[in-house]
Amino acid sequence: MQRYFYPYGRGLKDLTGIFPGTITPWLIGGLILLVLITSSIAIRSWRESKRSPYFFLRVQAAKKMQSYAVATIGLIIATLATTAYAWQSPADTSPRVALLSHAKPLPVAYAASPDSAVVADASPVALDITLSPASVEISPIEVATDPLQRSELPEEYNKFNPTVELKDSTQLGDVFFSTDITSNYEAINPGRRFTEGFYTIYATFSYDSMADGMVWSWVWRHNGQVIDGGNQVWEYGVDGPGYVYLRPETGFLLGEYTLDVWVNGKLLTQSSFTITEGVSAAN
């Protein structure tokens, strides 16, 4: 919302285009002063026209009184008009924006700094789409009920043999994506939609019933293609928070990025986020 600054009192309008804003109060004050001067001269002339002992002096005083009385009336009208215009409410020239309650929010502009990014949408957007059987031909891989069964652990990220068996109670929590994390490995302003650019995405998660000696792997994919990952022997205890991160050399490009986390060759969690085109935001 546009705000106005009133340097000489609440409601005093800036007469931009006619007089500068700082001259307006001086103009009104000057008109009032002229009214006082002309009215005082008119009153004094009226007294002279009544008290002068000579006829010609009374006539001159009467003419002078008439002239200054007319000038006083004109100045009073000008003062009132200027004051009335100056005290009008300022015109609101701010742009009008319609808020759509069911519109999907647009991503905001990405700040082009090497170590920062702007989260465009901090929550996943759920879409309810109904397709008729004949409208789309769906391949068997697209109708798989369990997305964790669609991924395979690449050989380059499966180089260690675990010394501790995987437990039935071992689990990894939900993955949260963000551009920054706290010292306790908690996501700051997590989201699933980010803009293009060069920055770091952190993936934080919790783990439970892990054991040192297990082997874990993480694999990053861009539009289904493996782009990065890692493989280590687990040495971080039974439970707690954890994280991995991704900073592509090419920067984040448009499309979907997916993270798979494996323990002892079993895919325990999978999550993804989307990179969209940044749009300029003026608000």
Q: pLDDT value at position 19?
A: 53
- Using left for φ > 0, alpha for ψ between -120 and 50, and beta otherwise, residue 213 falls in left
Domain check: are 123 and 192 in the same one? yes
Q: Do β-strands 193-195 and 266-276 pair in parallel, antiparallel, or remain unpaired?
A: parallel
Domain check: are 90 and 219 in the same one? no
Q: pLDDT value at position 60?
A: 82
260 pLDDT higher than 50:
yes
Domain check: are 83 and 170 in the same one? no
Domain check: are 16 and 65 in the same one? yes
Residue 265 within a domain: yes
Global pTM value:
0.48
Domain check: are 173 and 252 in the same one? yes
| Better-scored residue on pLDDT, 91 or 206 | 206
Q: How many angstroms separate the Cα of 22 from the Cα of each of 13, 82, 84?
A: 10, 14, 17
Assess contact for 209 and 239: CB atoms under 8 A. Answer: yes
| Better-scored residue on pLDDT, 1 or 27 | 27
The separation between CA 74 and the C-alpha centre of its own chain, rounded to angstroms, equals 53
Residue 108 within a domain: no
Residue range 186-238, pLDDT digits in tens: 999 999 999 999 999 999 999 999 999 999 999 999 999 999 999 999 999 99
> Residue 235 carries which side chain, given as an amino acid letter?
E
The DSSP annotation for 184-232 comes to: TS-BSS--SEEESBS--EEEEEEEES--BTBEEEEEEEETTEEEEEEEE
Q: pLDDT value at position 95?
A: 46
Q: Is 66 helix (H, G, I), strand (E, B) or coil?
A: helix
CA distance 90 to 10: 11
* b/e per residue 208-233 (b: at least 16 CB within 10 A): eebbeebbbbbbbbbeeebbbbebee
User: What is the CATH number for 235?
Assistant: 2.60.40.2550
Q: pLDDT value at position 122?
A: 45
Domain check: are 4 and 74 in the same one? yes
51 pLDDT higher than 90:
no
User: How much is the mean pLDDT over the chain?
Assistant: 77
Q: How many angstroms separate the Cα of 4 from the Cα of each of 7, 28, 84?
A: 10, 21, 18
Sorted by sequence, the CB contacts under 8 Å of residue 45 that are 6+ apart come out as: 61, 62, 64, 65, 68
Count: domains in the chain? 2
Domain check: are 263 and 126 in the same one? yes
Other Cβ atoms closer than 10 A to 62: 16
Q: pLDDT value at position 89?
A: 56
Q: pLDDT value at position 53?
A: 77
Token pair of 151, please?
A: 């991924």
Lowest mean pLDDT among 77-81, 83-87, 134-138, 214-218: 134-138
The parent domain of residue 35 ranges over: 1-96
Domain check: are 181 and 255 in the same one? yes
Q: pLDDT value at position 22?
A: 65
